[in-house]
Amino acid sequence: MIAVIDYGVGNLFSVEKALVAVGAEVEVTRDAKRLREAEKIVLPGVGAFGDCMKNLEATGLVPVLRQEIEKGKPLLGICVGLQILFEGSEESPGVEGLGILPGMVRRIEAEGLKVPHMGWNSLEIRNPRQERDLFAGLGEKPYVYFVHSYHAVPQDASVITATASYGSDLTASIAKGHVQATQFHPEKSGDVGLEILKNFMES
């Protein structure tokens, strides 16, 4: 069973529907017991960094989430679900993220281009992880769907598994251990997104 964390943010129905479409058993939950029983966890997120952290903390699931990550349970963060894995964000000064990964979330600098970065963009795959790779079987430069004004700048650049070019190279996905996350929305990225979710399910 894959547990999708319900903390009042994120397009939960779309994420659940996309996972079901690739054959996953899915439960949208804010129950700590079900989170512990799940084989994998999905942490979605849309909106502001500070609001996401406030809502997540209000569920009381932060300690459980940390424990499950420390145990090595696979986790997939999506959009702001990627951003809150880091220490903080320029979007919400003074708000601490989960700090699972060292680094900060910075506003996109894209001179002459509109921010937010919204729409389809190709990925530049970096540091593929082979059998646990979200992008297995997708070929070069898969197209995915983004909606964001901020992106993660990890302290350790080796955790970046894909970038997207928009004025500069933006962090599009990260991976460290059993934690993986995408800045783009796989649930809105058509067949490519479904393949990414299937790779996560089968990893």
Name the DSSP letter for residue 83: H
What three-state secondary structure class fits 159? Answer: helix
> Which one from 117, 148, 151, 185 is the annotated catalytic residue?
185
* Helix orientation angle between 190-202 and 12-21, rounded to the nearest 10 degrees: 70
> Which one from 16, 68, 91, 187 is the annotated catalytic residue?
187
Q: What digits encode the pLDDT tens for the residues 67-118?
A: 999 999 999 999 999 999 999 999 999 999 999 999 999 999 988 899 999 9
- 2-202 topology per CATH: Rossmann fold (3.40.50)
> Does the pLDDT of residue 11 top 90, yes or no?
no
Spatial CA neighbour of 179 closest among 195, 199, 159: 159
> Which one from 16, 79, 117, 148 is the annotated catalytic residue?
79
> Does the pLDDT of residue 121 top 50, yes or no?
yes
> Does the pLDDT of residue 128 top 70, yes or no?
no
Q: What is the pLDDT of residue 131?
A: 46
Instruction: Respond yes or no: is residue 52 known to be catalytic.
Output: no
Provide the residue type at 166 as one letter: Y
Q: What is the pLDDT of residue 9?
A: 82
- φ/ψ region of 68 (left if φ > 0, alpha if ψ in -120 to 50, else beta) reads alpha
- If you search the block for the tokens 């529907």, which residue do you land on? 17
Instruction: Respond yes or no: is residue 39 known to be catalytic.
Output: no
Domain assignments of the chain as residue spans, ordered by start:
2-202
